[in-house]
Amino acid sequence: MSVRLFQRFISSIKQNLPKHAKLVKTGPLKLQIETMSVATKEIENDDHLVDKQRTRFQQRQRKRQWEFNENKKGNSECEAKKLCDQPFERIKRKKMAMLLGYCGVDYFGMQRNPGVKTIEEDLLQALLGAKYITEEDFVNQQNAQFQRSSRTDKGVSAARQVVSVKLPLEVNVDEINKRLPECIRVFGIKRVTNKFNSKSKCNARTYSYTLPTYVFEKAVCTDEERKVYRISAEKQNLVNQLLGHYKGTKSYHNFTEKKHHQDPSASRYMMSFTMKKIFIESEVEFAELLVKGQSFMLHQIRKMVGLVIVIARGQADQGMIDKAFGKEKVMIPTAPGLGLMLDKVHYERYDTRYKDSHESLTWEDLDDTIEKFKMEHIHPNVVKGEIEGRNMALWLEKIEKHSFDPNDYVMEDKDDNIQDDDDDEKVDADIENDEDEREIDIDKNNAERNVCDTDIKNGEQVEDIKGNNIDGVVKHNNGNTDSTDVISVSEDKKENTCV
């Protein structure tokens, strides 16, 4: 037992005694230990340096803060305690939905455009004059989260346009209207959710197109015959049958500009398209066509109406509608934009979801006021343009020799009376592509030789292209486009832009 105790005592002493590295570790192991110790010292020095730099930075920051506070004390009181030179009142603003109507005959569209007369410019001026928006909001309307439900182009009117914008809780519609011209009226304002967007929350739009009924009869030529013409029930059924072909989801690549048949953005959903009512004004019979769709593209409605007119007059067979929805390129005539009007914007899904917390956006209580505005400011301009300006009669003369074949393109004279229709974004994709588009300027002196000079934007190379090898949209010098000013195009030249 004594031997075991002695051994335990010796082992405990060995464990407690300090070990000398130089004595027990030699050779490569000793070199490794010394290297690790040097590296450890360098890391400690780096950490010390970082801590030292951080300390110096904190000291400089404290010094600047101290100097800043001294300067404020030297200039009397703190700025936070200084009285403002001008009285300042903080106005609490909330998201609102504004319903308005306008006659767009003398305007260059709804969207704000510097240097030209637009609906948004007059509306924002009125809101600024009523002190419902600030100067910063007027300069940059996105500060007030301004958004239109549908973008209408030159000459197109609207009976129920909806705009979302942040406004004070107490808003007087009369204060806005007295600062607006007679052709623009705000009908009502309602509180909506904070994330409400008048464009993205819209699930459908309804447009109306007013035109004289004689356009469907080719035998009517003189002004006297046009006044006494009345559409027959058979012709009316034919027109409704043709309009019914547009119902459903189809590719409308031939009903707009610069779209390929495989372009997904050309697919649109039409819910209905019918001849709603017939009325007589100034001895001329007019018809109102109503189309309801999820969204529309540039010139789409005007081309849809133009194709129906041509088929009803017997200038093309009904198979042309099916051909227009096919893969081939078809030159469809574009009807004038004078009779086009945004009639209603639908928010059924929004109303269903927030029916318990927010007001409905159907605006049914304002129908009488809106109809009165339409009859006083919109319809008279349409009738005047058709009777005095012979807007549709001149267009019918142009399409007498219209060809649907892209290779038989014929240059027509520029008509300043032709307007542009609505240009909606597709709601499903919610895509807005602002890329620069290609502009093609055609010299009329070289039109007979089928040669045009193509001027490409963004500094690209200028090249001469034969007229029968181009696929694009011909633009006049003023930027307006017309369906007849389109030439056939190779698929590789198409630009996939969603306007």
Residues 116 and 182 in one domain: yes
Give residue 66's pLDDT. Answer: 60
The CATH number given to whatever domain includes residue 164 is 3.30.70.580
Confidence of residue 426 (pLDDT cuts 50, 70, 90): very low
Confidence of residue 38 (pLDDT cuts 50, 70, 90): low
Candidate list 46, 85, 106, 153, residue with the active-site label? 153
Residue 380 clears pLDDT 70, i.e. is over it: yes
pTM, 2 dp: 0.66
Residues 156 and 234 in one domain: no
Of 144, 170, 197, the residue that ends a domain is 197
Would residue 112 count as lying in a domain? yes
Confidence of residue 454 (pLDDT cuts 50, 70, 90): very low
- Distance (Å, rounded) from C-alpha 361 to C-alpha 98? 10
Residues 185 and 264 in one domain: no
Residues 272 and 160 in one domain: no
Of 197, 221, 237, the residue that ends a domain is 197
Would residue 161 count as lying in a domain? yes
Looking at the 3D structure of the chain, how many domains does it have? 2
153 in active site: yes
Give residue 138's pLDDT. Answer: 93
Residues 148 and 297 in one domain: no
pLDDT of 386-396, one tens digit each?
998 899 999 99
pLDDT of 183-192, one tens digit each?
999 999 999 9
- Distance (Å, rounded) from C-alpha 87 to C-alpha 437? 48
Confidence of residue 92 (pLDDT cuts 50, 70, 90): confident
Confidence of residue 496 (pLDDT cuts 50, 70, 90): very low
CA distances from 379 to 230, 288, 373, 403 (A): 20, 11, 9, 32
Residues 188 and 233 in one domain: no
Residue 455 clears pLDDT 60, i.e. is over it: no
Would residue 426 count as lying in a domain? no
Of 141, 162, 197, the residue that ends a domain is 197
- Distance (Å, rounded) from C-alpha 192 to C-alpha 215? 44
- Which residues contribute to the annotated binding site? 207
- Which residues contribute to the annotated binding site for substrate? 207
The CATH number given to whatever domain includes residue 373 is 3.30.70.660
- Distance (Å, rounded) from C-alpha 438 to C-alpha 330? 21
Would residue 184 count as lying in a domain? yes
Residues 231 and 283 in one domain: yes
Q: Hey, which bits of 217-337 come out as E strands?
A: 248-251, 267-281, 284-293
Residues 219 and 328 in one domain: yes
Would residue 489 count as lying in a domain? no
Residues 136 and 233 in one domain: no
What kind and span of H or E run contains 242? helix 233-244
Would residue 20 count as lying in a domain? no
Mean local confidence (pLDDT), 76-97: 64
Of 9-18, 106-115, 486-495, highest mean pLDDT: 106-115
Give residue 438's pLDDT. Answer: 35
State which residues form the domain around 98.
94-197
- Distance (Å, rounded) from C-alpha 41 to C-alpha 262? 68
pLDDT of 291-342, one tens digit each?
999 999 989 999 999 999 999 999 999 999 999 999 999 999 999 988 999 9
Residues 121 and 185 in one domain: yes
Residues 253 and 115 in one domain: no
- Distance (Å, rounded) from C-alpha 280 to C-alpha 212? 9
Mean local confidence (pLDDT), 375-381: 92
Name the average pLDDT for the chain. 77
Q: Hey, which bits of 282-377 come out as E strands?
A: 284-293, 340-346
The torsion angles phi and psi of 345, rounded to 5 degrees, stand at -120, 130
Would residue 274 count as lying in a domain? yes
Q: Tell me the DSSP string of 20-78.
A: PHHHH--THHHHHHHHHHHHHHHHHHHHHHHHHHHHHHHHHHHHHHHHHHHHHHHTSS-
Residues 175 and 271 in one domain: no
Would residue 61 count as lying in a domain? no
- Distance (Å, rounded) from C-alpha 56 to C-alpha 326? 74
Query: At how many degrees (to 10) do helices 233-244 and 300-312 cross?
Result: 140
